[in-house]
Amino acid sequence: MSSLSKKAIEGIKSLFFAKIIVDLINFGAGIFVMRLLDPNDFGIIALSGIVIFGTRSVKDLGIGAALIQKGGSEFEIDEDIVRTGFTLDLFLSLLCIFIVNLVAPIYALLFRDPELVLFVRIMSLYFVFDPLGIPRVLLQRNMRFREISISSISSTLISTTLTLIFVILGFGVWSLIIGSFSYYIVNTLIPIFYTRWRFKLSFNKEISKELIKFGAPLTAQSITAYLFTEFDDAIVGFFQGTTIAGFYNRAYTLAHLPVRKFMPMVRDVTFSAFSRIKDDTIKLRDWYESQLRYVALLLIPISFAMFIFAEYFIHFFLTDKWMPMLLAFQIMCLINILGVIGNTSYPIIVAKGKTKELFQVSLLNAIVTLTLGPLLVYYSLTYDPAYGIAGMALATFISSFAGWIFLSKLIKDISGVRILKQHKNPFFASLFSAIILHFMCSIYVVNIFTLFLFIGLGGVLYIIFLYIIEGKVLFSDLKALLDLFVKS
C-alpha cells in the first residue's frame, strides 16, 4: 500500500471513529433539546442563519480549497501564500460583519419578525472565525486527521454540554447561540495549538490573484449550492412564518444527518488525497469507485430506514408536537439516496479542476429549487396548510434528481465510473427490506423496544437481500475494506 493510501485510510479511521462518538452524543443531546425547545426557537436560528451563511458563501472565494490544492503532491506550502489568504479572508470577514449589521432591520421586515434583527447581528460575529480557521486548513492539507478529529470531538462535546446546561436553565433560544459560539471558539483554538501558526498580515497581489482565480468558480458554486440547500428555509419562512420554518429546518437537519455528519469527513480526506493523484487517471478512478460503493452500501439503507421509521421516531423521541414535519422529513430521507453521488463527487471534481462544471450543477439545483419551491409551497397551502413544508421538500427532491442526472454524466466523463452500477444493488436491497418492514411495523411497533427490534431486523433483511443480489462479492468487498482499516 502506498504511503498516500495509508495516510488517507488512517485519516478516515481517525475521523470515522471520532465522528461516531461525537455524533452519538450530539444526536442524543439534540433530541433532548428538541423536546424542551419550541419550533419557533429553531425557526429564529434558521432564518437568522440564512443571511449569515448566504453572505459567507459570497465572500468565501474558495481560499481554503485553494490552499489545500496549491503545490500538487508536496505537503509544504509557501508561507506568503498562506498569509495572503489569511489577510484576504480577514478583510472580507470584517466587511461582511459591517454589511450584515446594516441590512439586518430590512431583512427582519421581509419575514415580519422584529426579533430577527438582534439575532442576525449577534450571529454576524461568526465571520470572525473564518480567517482564524487557516490553521485547520493547514492540518487538512498535511493530512493530519488525528488532530482534526481531536478538535472536532472537543468542540462538539463542549458545545453540546453548554447547550444542554443553558436549555435546562431556561435560556431558550439563547442556548443554541451559546452552543454555536463555543463550538467555533474551541474548533479554532485547537488547530492553532497544533500548528503553532503565527497570524501575520501580509498581502501579495499576484498570489491573491491566483487564489481568487482558483476559488472564484468554487465561490459561484458555493452561492448556488447555498440557494439550493439553505434558501428553502427562506421560502417557507416567507410564506408560513418563523414557527413553520422551525419545523422545516428540523426536518431538513434530521433527515440529512447521516450525509451531513459522515460525508464532510470523507470529503476532507479524499480531497487532500485526490489533489495529489489528480494526474493518475486509473488510480483516481479506482479510488473513487471504491469510495462511491462503500458510501452507497452504508447511506442508501440508512435513508430507507429513516423513511420507514420516521413516524415512530418522532412519536417516541421528539413527542407529537413535532409531527407536522413528518411528510417533509420522509421526502428528505429519499433525497439522501440521490445525495450519495453529490457528496462523494465534490473531491474528485475539484481535484480534477472541473469547478466550472460543479458550478453548473449547483446552478441547475438552485434554479429548479427557486422556481418550483414557491409554486409548490403556495399550491400545497391552498390544498392544506399542513402540507406547505412538504411542497418545499418535494421541490428539493426534484432539484436533487436533476442534479443527480447531470453529475452521473460528469463523473462518467471524468473517471469512467458508472454511478448506477454502484447504486443499484444497495438500492434494491434496501427497497425490498423497506417494503417488508412497512407492513410489519404498522402492526407490531408499539413502543421503543419493538422499534429498536425492527431496526435490527431491517439491517438483517438488508444484508440478506444484498447477499442474494451480489453473492460472495459482498463479503469479499467487506473483507477488503476491513483489511484496509486493520492493516493501515
426 near 297, Cβ under 8 Å? yes
Q: Which pLDDT does position 419 carry in this prediction?
A: 75
Higher pLDDT, 422 or 246: 246
26 near 160, Cβ under 8 Å? yes
Residue 452 — pLDDT band, cuts 50, 70, 90? Answer: very high
Q: Which pLDDT does position 73 carry in this prediction?
A: 44
Q: How far apart are CA 25 and CA 278, in angstroms?
A: 37
What is the average pLDDT across 55-78?
64
51 near 120, Cβ under 8 Å? yes
Residue 272 pLDDT > 60: no
Q: Which pLDDT does position 322 carry in this prediction?
A: 96
| pTM exceeding the 0.95 threshold for the entire prediction | no
Q: Tell me which residue has cell 470523507.
A: 266
- Helix 242-255 to helix 39-59 angle, to the nearest 10 degrees? 70
Residue 400 sits at the vertex; the CA angle it makes with 255 and 353, to the nearest 5 degrees, is 110
**Could you state, in order of their start, the residue ranges of all structural domains in the chain?**
1-221, 238-364+405-488
- Helix 3-36 to helix 257-274 angle, to the nearest 10 degrees? 160
- Mean residue pLDDT of the chain comes to 82
Q: How many CB atoms lie within 10 A of CB 69?
A: 22
Phi/psi of residue 279, each to 5°? -95, -5
Residue 12 pLDDT > 70: no
Q: Could you tell me where the DSSP H helices lie in 197-280?
A: 205-229, 231-240, 242-255, 257-274
52 near 123, Cβ under 8 Å? yes
Q: Is 262 helix (H, G, I), strand (E, B) or coil?
A: helix
Phi/psi of residue 471, each to 5°? 70, -145
Q: How far apart are CA 18 and CA 232, in angstroms?
A: 31
Q: How far apart are CA 151 and CA 147, in angstroms?
A: 6
Higher pLDDT, 8 or 303: 303
Residue 243 pLDDT > 50: yes
From the list 362, 393, 364, 401, the residue with the least C-alpha distance to 376 is 393
Q: Which pLDDT does position 181 carry in this prediction?
A: 95
Residue 195 sits at the vertex; the CA angle it makes with 95 and 147, to the nearest 5 degrees, is 105
**What is the DSSP secondary structure assignment for residue 385, as one 8-state letter?**
G
* Half-sphere exposure for 143 (CA within 13 Å, toward CB): 25
Lowest mean pLDDT among 113-117, 348-352, 396-400, 450-454: 348-352
Enumerate residues 6+ apart whose C-beta is below 8 A from 480: none
Q: Which pLDDT does position 310 carry in this prediction?
A: 96
Contacts 24+ apart (CB under 8 A), 262-265: 262/19, 262/295, 262/298, 262/299, 263/295, 263/343, 263/344, 265/12, 265/15, 265/16, 265/19
Lowest mean pLDDT among 176-180, 265-269, 295-299, 402-406: 265-269
Q: Which pLDDT does position 17 carry in this prediction?
A: 64
**What is the DSSP secondary structure assignment for residue 314, as one 8-state letter?**
I
What is the average pLDDT across 398-419?
82
Residue 100 pLDDT > 90: yes
Q: Which pLDDT does position 69 carry in this prediction?
A: 61
Q: For the chain, how many residues are written?
A: 488
Residue 347 pLDDT > 90: no
Q: Which pLDDT does position 219 carry in this prediction?
A: 73
Residue 205 — pLDDT band, cuts 50, 70, 90? Answer: confident
- Cα–Cα distances (Å) from 397 to 71, 108, 369, in that order, read 38, 29, 9
Higher pLDDT, 315 or 198: 315
Q: Which pLDDT does position 74 carry in this prediction?
A: 46
From the list 448, 274, 444, 261, the residue with the least C-alpha distance to 339 is 261
Q: Which pLDDT does position 75 carry in this prediction?
A: 47
Q: How far apart are CA 5 and CA 115, in angstroms?
A: 51
Residue 362 pLDDT > 90: no
